[in-house]
Copies of this chain bind each other. A is one copy, B any other.
């Protein structure tokens, strides 16, 4: 592969970090282009026309082609690597964690972190304030589900690390920034340590 891989991103986003982490673990160099999502840099006519009609980052650019959706970008990067199981059930089971992450984990844990650390709780609008308690409860339920699953397991799927671990690590390891107490989930905490010790691991601030 000779074409440039460029990540259109907002660096503190866990969705963007999971792509950088996947690339780092695989030893794949990527270029990075930063956008300020707070000031709407991903909603400009140029961005919508050429990068992502959905107005969101991350987007992985491969030559002149653009791939939105964080987990799809990780799957592209990890194509044919040991981070994707070849066993049919394990591969589908890994996928279920990726879909669960986007449906049950990210909209709660990531949104609460964003609201509390970037927007600021006092600056939330009335609807966000009304949604916050439910999102906190759903975030705790997501962490509890992971903790139950990881009790007695080293990795989310099968016997080794997969994209399920990488993609769920991204927002889980910074859940404390949103007010979640990871000490309440000891199996999750141990698992976070295992992911952090994978060769090639980089921090979200790297």
Contacts and interface: CB of A to CB of B under 8 A. Distances in A.
Nearest to A95: B72
Nearest to A131: B127
Residue of A75, A106, A107, A134 with most partner-chain B CB within 10 A? A75
- Classify chain A: how many residues form its interface, as a range: 35 or more
A99 B69 contact: yes
A81 to B, nearest CB: 12
Interface stretch (A22-30, A86-94, A180-188): A86-94
Contacts of A62: 89
A92 B73 contact: yes
A65 to B, nearest CB: 6
Interface string A53-75: 11000000010010111111101
